[in-house]
Amino acid sequence: DKLQLQLKLFQLYHNKQELTEKREIADKKKDEVIKLEKRKEISDEEIKLKKKELAIYNKELANDEQKVKELEAQINKHRPTYIKAKENSTHHQKKIDLAK
């Protein structure tokens, strides 16, 4: 009877030790999880900011592309006038050269 009691006490002691170790491990794991969650939050915030920046840059790019298209359209609109003026200029220059 006394031996059984000692055996049970021995088992209880070791169970308690094992439980303490398991709790320490669990606490360490919880701390790791908390750290990882904080890192994730920071990363998520950075991603959110980068996405906002990207949206701004995409809008600026779209505006710039639109301006380029408008300028190209203006150039194409005035190209025939430029060509005609250049031809006239060349023609008059030839007349002047021939007159000399």
CA distance 50 to 48: 5
Alpha-carbon distance 8 to 1, whole Å?
A: 11
pTM: 0.58
* pLDDT on residue 88: 94
List pLDDT tens digits, range 48-100: 999 999 999 999 999 999 999 999 999 999 999 999 999 999 999 999 999 98
Q: Return d(Cα 67, Cα 59) in angstroms, integer.
A: 12
- pLDDT of amino acid 100: 80
pLDDT tens-digit readout, 4-14: 999 999 999 99
Specify burial of residue 25 (Cβ count, 10 A radius: 0-12, 13-18, 19+). Answer: exposed
pLDDT in tens, 19-56: 999 999 999 999 999 999 999 999 999 999 999 999 99
The pair phi, psi for residue 66, each rounded to 5°, is -65, -45
